[in-house]
Structure 1
Amino acid sequence: MTDRTPTLFISHGAPTLPIDPSMPREGFVSLADHLPRPQSILMLSAHWYTQRPAVSIATQPETIHDFYGFPRALYEIQYPAPGAPETAQRAAALLRAQGVQVDEEAHGLDHGAWVPMLLMFPNADVPVAQLSIQPRADAAHHFALGRALRALRDEGVMVVGSGQITHNLRAADFSARPEDADPRVTEFTDWFENHLAARDIDALLDYRKRAPHAEYMHPTDEHLLPVFAALGAADDDYTLGVQSLGTYQRALAMTNYVFGSAVQ
């Protein structure tokens, strides 16, 4: 028997996800309904990046509206979840034990964190801390971060990576229908999912050379790096859950992954 929490990768979509009825909001509600309730969440978002890892020790993190040109209603949303400074400091200690230098900051929740949390935990009653990503570092670096954090899962902490399984905004068409998806999206996501299912970590960490259309799907890979942290924190023999919610704006796939424990 194990009480380990699963780890997640979430494709958080556009900031308008909570208010746009054409987006798959209910999918995030359904995802949360099928997960154990965590004691706290450690979130790695594509939208908080630093030169070296940093944890947020804010006790009441502000809701950061880190986007421009969207409807006024979006800027009025607040997500008043409590912070999780103890989780942040525990994560920092685990990373430092592996020789990683870690900063501590009172950082708020960027939209990569609060947008999915708003849908998954609408009562804002799950404490959440953030750990920054390093966009100049590679997939292996983020996998190693996750591996160092694995012990958190025995303490009721859910490690969540939030980004996008495909993210080429230059190729996005905001008038496109889901059925207008670029076929290269499916080729890339099928490759990624097949290698996740096979637990082929070496291939996944080398995705930019091995995956079809990798550089097209991710001209820069900050939106994919969080998946490697979630993967690193998972068990070696994890079970893979896939929630495919479609492709939007032609090039932005909304796929979520759950890495569960093989023994329950």
Structure 2
Amino acid sequence: MTTPHATPRMPVLFIGHGSPMNVIEDSPFRREWQRIGPLFGSRWPKPKLILCISAHWITQGWWLTGMAHPKTIHDFGGFPQELFDQQYPAPGAPEWAAHTAQLLRQPASGEAVGLDLDQWGLDHGCWGVLKPMFPEADIPVVQLSIDYHRPMAEHYALGQQLRSLRHQGVLVMASGNTVHNLRTMQRSAADNQAYDWAIGFDQWVADQIRAGHNEALVDFQAQGNIAQMSHPSYDHYLPLLYAAGAAEPGDSVEFFNEGYQLASIAMRSVIWD
């Protein structure tokens, strides 16, 4: 009688995605994504599926993409045609999404997560990172939307529901930024330059994660002015709560891309393993 092999637990990633131009420019951030991708297959198993939570899919209620062939969404403007020409033809996972949507429960209401069969696809917060990481586009990708208007604790709670997926070969990847203020961008700033408030808030986030106080990230607005300046709207912060919720007690923590873009976007990225 043979003993069944347990599926190795997958890590959780939070990726600071920054400017859409990172997908086509040879930035240090893109080079790090290119370095991390091949580690799946050596340091970790190749994912059976990638579940992406992007700052750019905001909905009423929570939804999973359930189509077989999710389209590449170019949800930005004012960029070169080369960026609009980018495609990421990763397959979807209709059966998995339909099954998982019934298992995940929307916090507070207890209702199942909705299934989107034709409205969304893969937005640039998702494919803009996955294309440098997994250029073959041969891993099925499903996106989970964000209900922006729900309390912070509910985003973290839904992230906690994703923990079990890590034991099923699913890579949970959240894509946003620890600091994201487009109103105060400085285009001449170097990648190691940022406002004091941006550095302060990014460091506060790092301190909570490093100490294993992931739940403290929920109450980020208690940090006052540095939190308000770092997130005038908090769409790019919310993905972090899903990743932090999916992390398990005792996970090791590794940071990468600890730099800044345009002085007011923090690119800090996190691996929980």
TM-score w.r.t. the length of structure 1 is 0.92
Give distance in 2, aligned partners of 1:138 and 1:97: 12
Show structure 2 runs of 5+ residues with no match: 1-5
User: 1:114 aligned to 2:127?
Assistant: yes
User: 1:38 aligned to 2:47?
Assistant: yes
Q: Secondary structure at the match of 2:19?
A: coil
Which deviates more from structure 2 when the two are superposed, residues 206-215 or residues 44-53? Answer: 206-215
Partner of 2:255: 242
State the 1:139 CA deviation. 2.5
Which of the residues 25, 28, 33 maps onto 2:30?
25
Partner of 2:138: 125
1:171-217 C-alpha deviation (Å, 9 max, x unpaired) = 11223222432122221111111111112134221111037601100
Which deviates more from structure 2 when the two are superposed, residues 230-239 or residues 175-184? Answer: 175-184
Structure 1 residues 240 and 100: CA distance shift in structure 2, 3 A: farther
User: 1:8 aligned to 2:13?
Assistant: yes
1:44-77 C-alpha deviation (Å, 9 max, x unpaired) = 1000011100010011111001111100111111
State the 1:232 CA deviation. 1.1
State the 1:130 CA deviation. 0.5
Partner of 1:92: 101
* Mapped contact 1:50–1:132 kept (Cα < 8 A): yes
Which deviates more from structure 2 when the two are superposed, residues 161-170 or residues 211-220? Answer: 211-220
User: 1:101 aligned to 2:112?
Assistant: yes
Give runs of aligned pairs for residues 149-228 of structure 1, distance below 5 A.
149-210=162-223, 213-228=226-241
Residue 112 of structure 1 aligns with an amino acid whose one-letter code is G
Structure 1 residues 48 and 187: CA distance shift in structure 2, 3 A: same
Between the aligned residues of both structures, percent identity stands at 40
Structure 1 residues 131 and 238: CA distance shift in structure 2, 3 A: same
TM-score w.r.t. the length of structure 2 is 0.90
Give distance in 2, aligned partners of 1:138 and 1:3: 33
Residue 227 of structure 2 aligns with an amino acid whose one-letter code is A
Q: Secondary structure at the match of 1:241?
A: strand
Which deviates more from structure 2 when the two are superposed, residues 86-95 or residues 120-129? Answer: 86-95
Residue 68 of structure 1 aligns with an amino acid whose one-letter code is G
Which deviates more from structure 2 when the two are superposed, residues 206-215 or residues 53-62? Answer: 206-215
Show structure 1 runs of 5+ residues with no match: none
User: 1:69 aligned to 2:78?
Assistant: yes
Structure 1 residues 165 and 6: CA distance shift in structure 2, 3 A: same
Give distance in 2, aligned partners of 1:197 and 1:53: 29
Residue 38 of structure 1 aligns with an amino acid whose one-letter code is P
State the 1:15 CA deviation. 1.1
Query: What's the Cα RMSD here?
Result: 1.8
1:70-129 C-alpha deviation (Å, 9 max, x unpaired) = 001111111111112233223312213972332111221010110000010001111100
Partner of 2:3: none
State the 1:18 CA deviation. 1.5
* Mapped contact 2:62–2:106 kept (Cα < 8 A): no
* Mapped contact 1:240–1:259 kept (Cα < 8 A): yes
Structure 1 residues 202 and 124: CA distance shift in structure 2, 3 A: closer
Equivalent residue pairs, number:
260
Q: Secondary structure at the match of 1:21?
A: coil
* Mapped contact 1:4–1:156 kept (Cα < 8 A): yes
Give distance in 1, aligned partners of 2:126 and 2:233: 20
